[in-house]
Amino acid sequence: MVARLHVIEPFELDPPDRLAFWEDCMLAGRALNSLFSPRKMNYEIHGNSIPHLHMHLYPRYAGDPYGTGPIDGRATFHRSSADLAHMKRALVGAGAR
């Protein structure tokens, strides 16, 4: 999820936009959970390389490329165009903006 306004931290959003950002993140998490049935959803906000508020959502599975540790950007993991289109339909259907 990406903030529509340029901010670096979630606390920089005014209350309605902050609520909308978190609600969109939760809608996306719920949609991805329904779609993939992971063991756990990981939610990550960094901004070290791109100083703009955005969140990464990672469905986690037993035996995924990251094992039982944190997400490692050096590991490779790819989804097909069909997988991405399927995810987009699920997210749009869930009401994520």
Query: pLDDT tens, 9-50?
Result: 999 999 999 999 999 999 999 999 998 899 999 999 988 888
DSSP classification of residue 41: E
Distance in angstroms (rounded) separating the CA atoms of residues 86 and 62: 22
Q: What is the pTM of this model?
A: 0.78
The reported pLDDT for the residue numbered 65 is: 78
The reported pLDDT for the residue numbered 38 is: 92
pLDDT band at 70 (very low <50, low <70, confident <90, very high): confident
Domain range list for the chain: 10-69+78-94
SS3 59: strand
Q: What angle do CA 83, 28, 35 make, to 5 degrees?
A: 45
